[in-house]
Amino acid sequence: MLIAGLTACGGMSSYVAPPANERLVPDITAEGTKFFVLQRDYLRPDPYAADATPARPRGRGGDELIMGERNIEQRLTLIMERTGYCREGFFELYREQTLTGFSVRGECRETASDADRARFSSGPIPL
């Protein structure tokens, strides 16, 4: 019985997050606190499109409705390195998962410099 449970969990390593529009939304307060939201809006096929593929089974057999994002900490670290937004690290404040998307709100460990204010004041950063 234990082996069957471990075997079932072993298939989870091949999980791939659904395709999504992803963006980093920086938010710098007047005091210099640097917040951010990583937003992933899942791309869903149009069920009425002529070339739409049949939906995968939902529930235990398919990963269509798996809640949560795997490896999100590593993904956030990579995004921060690539954008330069949180240079000294960050901590997560909360996560939100819905059927249409996923978001993580966090705060950078450093305060904003004048260069940060100039560079990150133009709105969301597409990823």
Tell whether the model's pLDDT for residue 103 goes beyond 80: yes
In this prediction, residue 65 carries a pLDDT of 37
Contact 104, 76 (CB under 8 A): yes
In this prediction, residue 70 carries a pLDDT of 74
Tell whether the model's pLDDT for residue 68 goes beyond 70: no
**27-32 contact pairs (CB < 8 A, 24+):** 28/112, 28/116, 28/117, 28/120, 28/121, 31/111, 32/111, 32/112
Kindly provide the b/e burial profile for residues 79-99, where b requires at least 16 CB atoms within 10 angstroms of the residue's own CB.
Answer: bbeebebbeeebeeeeeeeee
Tell whether the model's pLDDT for residue 97 goes beyond 50: yes
Which of 24, 29, 27, 34 is CA-nearest to residue 111?
A: 34
Task: State the chain's mean pLDDT as an integer.
Answer: 80
**Better-predicted residue by pLDDT, 29 or 42:** 29
Kindly report whether the global pTM for this prediction surpasses the value 0.95: no
What is the tens place of the pLDDT at every residue in 19-35? 888 999 999 999 999 99
